[in-house]
Amino acid sequence: MTIRTVSTTPFTDQKPGTSGLRKSVPVFQKPHYLENFVQSIYDTLNPAAGKTLVLGGDGRYYNRPAIQIILKMAAANGIARVKVGQHGILSTPATSCVIRKYQTDGGIILSASHNPGGPEGDFGVKFNTANGGPAPEKVTEAIFARSKEIDQYKILDAPDVDIDTLGESKLGDMTVEVIDSVTDYQALMESLFDFDRIRELLTSGKFRMCVDSMHAVTGPYAHALFEQRLGAPAGTVMNGTPLEDFGGGHPDPNLVYAHDLVEILFGSNAPDFGAASDGDGDRNMILGRHFFVTPSDSLAILAANATLVPGYKGGIAGIARSMPTSQAADRVAEKLGVACYETPTGWKFFGNLLDAGKATLCGEESFGTGSNHVREKDGLWAVLFWLNILAVRQQSVQEIVQEHWQTYGRNYYSRHDYEGVASDRAQELVDRLQSLLPTLKGKSYGSYQVEYSDDFAYEDPIDGSISRNQGIRIGFTDGSRIVLRLSGTGTQGATLRVYFESFEPNPQKQHQDTQQALGELIAIAENLAHIRHYTGMDKPTVIT
Ligand code: VG1
Ligand code: CO
């Protein structure tokens, strides 16, 4: 077997976004495209020689060929060992778990998460560091810088590696270890949750649930956990076989894209509990019978009930949420007397807080919740957390949420996404709004008065690094907010995300329709940002 050094020229567009490098499959299939980016990762490992990495993906189209290329390049770069998920499958939280458990030097996750897959769909490559978390900005910037000057990569000329049989084999001098995708992750879940009690609930005959894996990576994990280990009847997990194109769907667990599950939970004879997860298994949507739990509320409720769960019975050190996530969690943190941190969008910003022991639970409004058990958000962890709470409290999902609102007040919350907007028009909208920001303070719009308006900047309390331009915030004197930002995960045009939040302490007024309760703020956003004009759309693509 010989190591081949291949001459290449840089691509200019390999800047990782909110969560790794995401492009369409045809872009990744261009000669040298994947190779350049992977070599840039290996070059920033400095040195790659002797390192151990974890490798796996969400099973989407191009997962298997990409794994072969990455393995052969790893061998050529002197990497000592790669732990690969069997069949190339590892969910994002399971990858984080394996990196941490075996103290490897990091890992590579092949996923474009909630973006559609297939030959014309999206693909993605994300590098995680030794703490198990997404590479922080200083690392992704180094990878990007390297990608702009790269002139060669190394690859081993060798036959494909068998990634379907568990066990070790050699690729040149490197050891390839094919690991079971589920075992380590399941063991971690068993160490955190009261499996006996959850099993009792699921086999009691009084509780029915439905888990939608959306033809994506969580299928094998959900079958193993809920049906095999916890005794739920076969069929509890739907769409549980990972498909390369996710069955043609959008593996995004929200009310629009997880419509199969939504129909069941809002239909007649609905089960008590429903959950869905995304392409790579780090997101979750939680439903009760005829009831939707917003992700922001979910974070707050997990925090308020954490001591009911064995893994968190000693209490939590703090909560961290992304800036656009509602302030429901802040109210819980205040009551518990723990800190609440507000970070930019993207899980990479939670890593330092978790490593420093400042936060135990983290969450994003985009259906992401997690804790210090790994360094990624974790969809099935959130489902187990809810099941553990339900098993202890013996109440319905709706009762638990409504009691929470009575105690803490309700943060009405919604996100409006405008997908596939022309990039220059989206940028014009943002530029114009940015120029207005200094003039807004003190102005009144209907019953709201602007208290502050800025472009969110974050100073990391651990390493002092500063991240600017993380989203436009317009805050009102009563605590309501409008937030606007452009997505960093899309691959076509721009996606504008507009977030709305208002607070309602009065239990009598906590049962309004969310869009109605936020109606005035929605109108103010249109008035200030001219969304219809710049997007050319008269309504959002997705409302969550
Ligand atoms: C979106 C979400 C963000 C999340 C990111 C990755 O980013 O808003 O909260 O961390 O996706 O999630 P953006 O830049 O498109 O708004 V995942 O599950 O796609 O890795
Ligand atoms: Co995801």
Query: Is residue 19 within 6 Å of ligand 1 at its C-beta?
Result: yes
Q: Which atom of ligand 1 lies closest to the CA of 489?
A: 15
Pairing state of beta strands 481-486 and 458-459?
A: unpaired
**Strand, helix or coil at 370?**
strand
Closest Cα to atom 2, ligand 1: which residue?
366
- The predicted pLDDT at position 491 comes to 81
Q: For residue 39, what are the contacts with CB-CB under 8 A and spacing of at least 6?
A: 8, 73, 77, 150, 152, 153, 154
- The predicted pLDDT at position 364 comes to 98
Query: Is residue 366 within 6 Å of ligand 1 at its C-beta?
Result: yes
Query: Is residue 52 within 6 Å of ligand 1 at its C-beta?
Result: no
* Residue 135 binned pLDDT confidence (cut-offs 50, 70, 90): very high
220 with 242: CB under 8 angstroms? yes
Q: How far apart are CA 49 and CA 108, in angstroms?
A: 16
Query: Is residue 470 within 6 Å of ligand 1 at its C-beta?
Result: no
Query: Is residue 364 within 6 Å of ligand 1 at its C-beta?
Result: yes
Surrounding ion ligand 2 within 5 Å at CB are 113, 278, 280, 282-283
Q: Identify which ligand lies nearest to the alpha carbon of 216.
A: 2
Distances in Å between the alpha carbon of 177 and those of 45, 80, 137, 222? 20, 11, 30, 24
Question: Cα of 89 to ligand 1 centre, how many Å?
Answer: 21
HSE-up of 341 (CA within 13 Å, CB side)?
27
Q: For residue 394, what are the contacts with CB-CB under 8 A and spacing of at least 6?
A: none
501, amino acid identity: E
DSSP string, 453-480: EEE--EE-TTT--EE----EEEEETTS-
Rg (CA), the chain: 23
Cα 76 → chain centroid? 32
Closest Cα to atom 19, ligand 1: which residue?
113
**Per-residue pLDDT at 154 exceeds 90:** yes
Question: pLDDT (tens digit, 9 = 90+) per residue, 75-99?
Answer: 999 999 999 999 999 999 999 999 9
Span 408-423, average pLDDT? 96
Which tokens belong to 207? 């509780």
DSSP category for residue 12: S
Query: Is residue 35 within 6 Å of ligand 1 at its C-beta?
Result: no
**Per-residue pLDDT at 38 exceeds 80:** yes
**Per-residue pLDDT at 1 exceeds 80:** no
For the chain, how far is it from start to end, CA to CA, in angstroms? 53
Q: Which atom of ligand 1 lies closest to the CA of 322?
A: 9
Span 323-346, average pLDDT? 97
What strands lie across the sheet with 122-128, from one edge to the other? 21-24, 122-128, 107-110, 52-57, 81-89, 174-179, 167-171
- The predicted pLDDT at position 61 comes to 98
Residues serving a catalytic function are 113
Helix (H) or strand (E) holding 255, with range, is: none
Question: Cα of 341 to ligand 2 centre, how many Å?
Answer: 22
Average pLDDT in the chain? 96
Q: How far apart are CA 319 and CA 77, in angstroms?
A: 40
Q: Which atom of ligand 1 lies closest to the CA of 366?
A: 9
261 with 131: CB under 8 angstroms? no
With both helix axes pointing from N to C terminus, report the angle between 379-393 and 295-304 in degrees, rounded to the nearest 10: 50
* Ligand 1 pocket test, candidate residues 277, 366, 374, 423, most atoms within 8 A of CB: 366
Neighbours of 155 (CB within 10 A): 22
Q: How far apart are CA 160 and CA 147, in angstroms?
A: 26
**Per-residue pLDDT at 515 exceeds 90:** yes
177 with 168: CB under 8 angstroms? yes
* Ligand 1 pocket test, candidate residues 345, 381, 423, 496, most atoms within 8 A of CB: 345
- The predicted pLDDT at position 213 comes to 97
Question: pLDDT (tens digit, 9 = 90+) per residue, 373-399?
Answer: 999 999 999 999 999 999 999 999 999
Question: pLDDT (tens digit, 9 = 90+) per residue, 351-369?
Answer: 999 999 999 999 999 999 9
- The predicted pLDDT at position 19 comes to 86
Span 46-54, average pLDDT? 95
Beta bridge partners of 5: 154
- The predicted pLDDT at position 492 comes to 83
Question: Cα of 351 to ligand 1 centre, how many Å?
Answer: 15
- The predicted pLDDT at position 490 comes to 79
Query: Is residue 114 within 6 Å of ligand 1 at its C-beta?
Result: yes
Closest Cα to atom 11, ligand 1: which residue?
489
Neighbours of 345 (CB within 10 A): 26
Question: Cα of 199 to ligand 2 centre, how many Å?
Answer: 27
- The predicted pLDDT at position 18 comes to 84
Give the CA angle between residues 191, 192, 197 to the nearest 5°.
95
Question: pLDDT (tens digit, 9 = 90+) per residue, 298-334?
Answer: 999 999 999 999 999 999 999 999 999 999 999 999 9
Residue among 281, 60, 56, 79 nearest 163 (CA):
56
Query: Is residue 488 within 6 Å of ligand 1 at its C-beta?
Result: yes
Task: Identify whether 507 is preceded by a cis peptide bond (ω within 30 of 0).
Answer: no
Question: Cα of 273 to ligand 1 centre, how many Å?
Answer: 25
Pairing state of beta strands 448-455 and 368-371?
A: unpaired
**Per-residue pLDDT at 488 exceeds 90:** no
Q: How far apart are CA 50 and CA 47, in angstroms?
A: 8
Question: pLDDT (tens digit, 9 = 90+) per residue, 259-301?
Answer: 999 999 999 999 999 999 999 999 999 999 999 999 999 999 9
Q: Which atom of ligand 1 lies closest to the CA of 485?
A: 16
Residue 337: φ, ψ to 5°: 75, 30
Neighbours of 93 (CB within 10 A): 30
Q: Identify which ligand lies nearest to the alpha carbon of 368.
A: 1
Residue percentage of the chain with pLDDT more than 90: 97
Beta bridge partners of 414: 500
Question: Cα of 93 to ligand 2 centre, how many Å?
Answer: 9
* Ligand 1 pocket test, candidate residues 489, 491, 541, 542, most atoms within 8 A of CB: 489
Beta bridge partners of 501: 413, 481
338, amino acid identity: V
